[in-house]
Amino acid sequence: MTPITICICTRYRPEDLRRCLERIASGTQAPAAVIVSDDGHDEATRDIAGQIGATYTQGPQAGLAANRNHALQYVQTPLVAFVDDDVIVSTDYIQAATSLDTDAITTGQVLNFMDSGVGELVTPHNADFWGFQRLDPDGDLRSIVVVATVFPTSVFDKIRFDERLWYGAEEIDIAQRATSRGIQIRFDARLWVEHHSYTAGREAYKASAIASRIYQNTKRHAIYDGNATKAVAFAILGPVQVVASAARRRRFREAAVGVKASARGISWALTLLNPRSRAALR
């Protein structure tokens, strides 16, 4: 069995965190360590982490990618997994994780519960031209379900989560960064979790998700796929697709948000014209 550390990113959801930690603690096997990286300022979060035996650290308050990178400094095991506070791992998750080899990233599946209470099974799919995970991997997996993924800790000696991705696109980005360096991604159905993701309060994240996808997918075409033509085509057509999709549904305020968010994503992508910036993101 290979020791694993579970890193939990949280922000003002102490009761969700409690459920997450209690499930980890009640599993068939315990992890070597649990790190709670808190992007909020909530004493309840700190208290709950201490009560259930986790190591608490104050996060950088710069989004999920930065918070995951922050948590990594406390990891001292050969394996690491990132579980958000609204995730409940399966009873045998840690046992399955510690049986994995350390020569590849292994990803699993998530049962995603939204407001309806009906779970939808989500498995990793490769990104299409628009950056959505909709393509069958067909034996060449280049994506992950980040909250059901086990990483060899050594991977992060070479790459980190891109901290421009405040919310959205970070899981497809880290997968593509890894595979571009020859790191293999495998699928293991034993790694499964429940994700209790509710729509309430998520409107505030929509602009960030759009900007992140526009930036990340332009970067993907330009750097990871090495296709400048596709990068330019997406940089032009991606924002058009965002606005047209909202307009078709007569959501004109959403279309206006899409214009601003897309412009931000393109401005981030323009930094890739700097060779030093490109090299740092390979």
Domain spans of the chain, in order of start: 4-196, 203-280
Instruction: Give the type of residue at 246.
Output: A
pLDDT value of position 139: 87
Q: How many CB atoms sit inside 10 A of residue 168's CB?
A: 23
pLDDT value of position 199: 55
How far, CA to CA in Å, does 39 sit from each of 8, 44, 64, 67, 154?
A: 11, 13, 9, 7, 25
pLDDT band at 119 (very low <50, low <70, confident <90, very high): confident
pTM listed for this prediction: 0.92
Average pLDDT over residues 176-195: 95
**CA–CA separation, 202 vs 119, rounded Å?**
18
Given a cut of 80, whether residue 282 has pLDDT beyond it is no
Question: What does the longest C-alpha to C-alpha distance in the chain come to?
Answer: 54
pLDDT band at 281 (very low <50, low <70, confident <90, very high): low
**CA–CA separation, 82 vs 102, rounded Å?**
16
Q: Which fold has domain 4-196?
A: Spore Coat Polysaccharide Biosynthesis Protein SpsA; Chain A (3.90.550)
Q: What is the 3-state secondary structure (H, E, C) of 57-102?
A: EECCCCCHHHHHHHHHCCCCCCEEEECCCCEEECCCHHHHHCCCCC
Given a cut of 70, whether residue 76 has pLDDT beyond it is yes
Which one has a higher pLDDT value, 201 or 194?
Answer: 194
Instruction: Give the type of residue at 13.
Output: R
